[in-house]
Structure 1
Amino acid sequence: MKILAYGVRDDEMPYLEEWQKQNPDVEVKAVPELITDETVEWAKGYDGVDVYQQLPYTDTVFEKLDSYGIHNVSLRNVGVDNMNPEAVKKYNMNITNVPVYSPAAIAEFSVAQLMNLLRRTKEYFHKFDRNDYRWAPQISHELNDQVVGVIGTGHIGQVAINIYKGFGAKVIAYDKFHNPELEKEGLYVDSLEELYKQATVITLHIPLFPETEHMLDKAAFDQMNDGVFIVNASRGPLIDESALIDALDSGKVAGAALDVLEDETKVFNKDLTGKNMDYPEFWNLTSRENVLVSPHTAFYTDVAVKNMVQYSLSANKDLIETGTSDKLVKF
């Protein structure tokens, strides 16, 4: 049994090697390159591929895998929004993901970034750079005084809710699919509009689908409280960045913590030192004292990376051996 793992980073290698020792019957080859129309040819002779990338998986990639007799593709992440479902079905691909690798990693990071927003740490760091050690005028806010609107109450959203409750914040939530325990607590509101009206903080923990793209647009921001804080550690296109910039300009949004961006593949996980990059919204947002942009690192912990690598390899092995997996994605 042979698996080719694409896009493997140095920090993933120890966990891949650990899994290999535990599964000596499987030969795993790791390459740092992403799977593309060109590199997919390296998969000839393998039984499955293990992948992770933010770039799209082209239809040609699936077409070529099919021609090589490979139908087992395991993602080391959750999202499948960069795959064409029609191509997946046309070429009979079995796709697995890692739906739960560490909800705490992302939830904890999103709360930490909100705390940085509320306590205005970016502004203080910049003052320190100027040898200015005065408190004023950067008076901050307390988390226990906020109404936190959590959109999406899956694994990550539930962990975030527990953390916020631990700080003493009032939590409200919206999700099309209610968690029975949260429903007992009376946390759910009936609509996004109701959540927008009540929340002083809005944090996103939902997948990207066509119907959720730009869910936070001008119309949504207009319904929110003045001075609301926005946190997004889910998917960049959930927010219309132009509308967010306008809302920041007007003061409707007091601050934003963004671990994901609409066009993040232009910048994230790249060394662009000394290079120009055409992404005006990125420059606008990162230049602001009240906006925190991080390069899609909410997931990036030792626990999460280990689980992403080893769960995906185990899922690929299951596909090869049995033709199915408990992590099979339905398209």
Structure 2
Amino acid sequence: MKFIAFNVRSDEEKYFKAWEAQNDLQVRCVSGPLTNDELDSVAGYDAVLALQTGTYPQDMFKKFKEYGVKVFSIRNVGVDNIDLKAAKENGVLVTNVPAYSPNAIAEFSVTQLMQLLRNITLFRNKVAAHDFRWAPYVGKELRTLTVGVIGTGRIGRAAINIYRGFGAKVIAYDLYPNPTLEKEGIYVDSYEELFKQADVITLHMPATPSDHHLIDKKAIAQMKDGVYIINTARGALIDTEALISGIKEGKIAGAALDTYENESPIFNNDLRNKELTDSLFKQLLELDNVLITPHVAFYTETAVENMVTIALNSAREACEKGTAETLVK
């Protein structure tokens, strides 16, 4: 049994090597992404592992079938960029890592909100300019706010526990409510109701066609004045142009974006000394009350090890048994 893994970073290599030694299986690691140019290299391998937020080759699963690849195992949760229909038609099993570290993302989202509430970017800029005055940037205490959590899966529930620890009031919305949380009465009946009540809106949900630009001009108009928006989920959930307008008009007090709807050409790329051509992204960078991070909410040692190990275990299980606990249906 042989595996090939793409987009393998230097921080992942030790976990691949450790697993390879423990399981006595060959794993070839490739630093680059899985592209059309790389498709021929998968011939002879039983499973392909990948991790990329952009698009995969259009005829990937057709080629997998031709080359004898049985399993496609991704080292992340989201499958919105994978043609699952094509995978099924070509007899290729797809696995993911449903939970590599919910706490990593939850903690990061709260950390970003705390920076917004205390105007950290503004004060950092002032201090760098040797301006040590306080006013007028008075902060807010999290315990005085209502936090609206959209998506109460593993990550959303971890975030809820943290927010409760700060003493904040938490409300939530999910198409598939968690039974325990439902008994606690924290759910509202609609997005609109959450928008109207929440001082903070934090997104912890997958991206689907029906949720594209969930946060748009209409949604922002329904929100409270001075709302904060946190997105560590998927960039497509937010209409960036509408978000920028809401911030410039003062409707939105601040936003923390760990993901961006057009992030693939930007995030995880070294663009130093290069001109950014995305005008919307450039506008976001110019706003002092917007925090942008390059899709790193998940990025902890614990999460990285889990992503690699679970993906490899899933690939082996699927190859051996024709199914896996993490099989994407």
Q: TM-score range by the shorter chain?
A: over 0.9
Task: Say if 2:172 is the partner of 1:173.
Answer: yes
The answer to whether structure 1 residue 301 and structure 2 residue 280 are counterparts is no
Which aligned pairs between 1:312-331 and structure 2 lie closer than 5 A?
Answer: 312-330=311-329
In the alignment, the residues of structure 1 paired with residue 14 and residue 42 of structure 2 have an alpha-carbon distance, to the nearest angstrom, of: 22
Q: Where does residue 21 of structure 1 map in the other structure?
A: 21
Shift of 1:85: 2.8
Alignment CA distance shift 1:59-1:91 (3 Å): farther
Task: Give 1:171 shift.
Answer: 0.3
Per-residue CA deviation, residues 241-278 of structure 1 (Å, 9 max, x unaligned), is 01101111111111000000000112101110111121
Question: Could you tell me how far apart the structure 2 residues matched to 1:86 and 1:113 are?
Answer: 37
What secondary structure sits across from 2:99 in the alignment? coil
> Structure 2: how far apart are the matches of 1:127 and 1:210?
42
The one-letter code sitting in structure 2 at the alignment partner of 1:127 is K
Give the equivalent residue in structure 2 for 1:132.
Answer: 131
Mapped to 1, the partners of 2:299 and 2:261 lie a distance apart of 19
CA distance in 1, matches of 2:276, 2:282: 9
Per-residue CA shift, 1:57-89, capped at 9, x if unaligned?
Answer: 122222211110113100000011111233222
In the alignment, structure 1 segments of 5+ residues that lack a partner are none
User: CA RMSD of the aligned region, Å?
Assistant: 0.9
Match of 1:183 in 2: 182
Matched AA of 2:312: L
User: Structure 2: which 5+ runs fail to align?
Assistant: none
Aligned length: 329
Q: Which residue of 2 aligns with 1:79?
A: 78
**Match of residue 60 from structure 1:** 59
Whole-Å separation in 1 of the counterparts to 2:89 and 2:239: 32
Structure 2 contact 276–282 (Cα < 8 Å) conserved: no
Write the deviation string for residues 95-120 of structure 1: whole angstroms up to 9, x where unpaired. 00000000000000000000000001
SS of the residue corresponding to residue 288 of structure 2 reads coil
- Structure 1 position 310, deviation (Å): 0.4
- The match for 1:155 is 154
Shift of 1:235: 0.2
Aligned counterparts, 1:94-133, within 5 A: 94-133=93-132
TM-score, normalised relative to structure 1? 0.98
Aligned residue identity for 2:18: E
1:181 is displaced (CA, Å) by 1.2
Encode CA deviations 1:216-237: one digit per residue, 9 max, x unaligned: 0111001000110000000001
User: Distance in 2 between the 1:35 and 1:267 partners?
Assistant: 17
Structure 1 residue 175: Cα displacement:
0.5
Does the Cα contact within 8 Å between 1:201 and 1:228 map onto a contact in 2? yes
| Other-structure match for 1:6 | 6
1:230-241 mapped onto 2 (5 Å cutoff): 230-241=229-240
Higher mean alpha-carbon deviation, 106-115 vs 78-87, is at 78-87
**Could you tell me whether the CA contact under 8 Å between 1:59 and 1:87 is conserved in 2?**
no
Structure-2 residue corresponding to 1:274: 273
The one-letter amino acid of 1:63's match is: K
Would the aligned equivalents of 2:70 and 2:91 in 1 still touch at CA under 8 Å? yes
| Partner Cα distance (1:93, 1:223) in 2 | 44
The structure 1 segments of at least 4 consecutive aligned residues displaced by more than 3 Å after TM superposition are none
Answer yes or no: is the 8 Å Cα contact 1:58–1:83 preserved in 2.
Answer: no
Question: What is the rounded CA distance, in whole Å, between the counterparts of 1:290 and 1:7 in structure 2?
Answer: 33
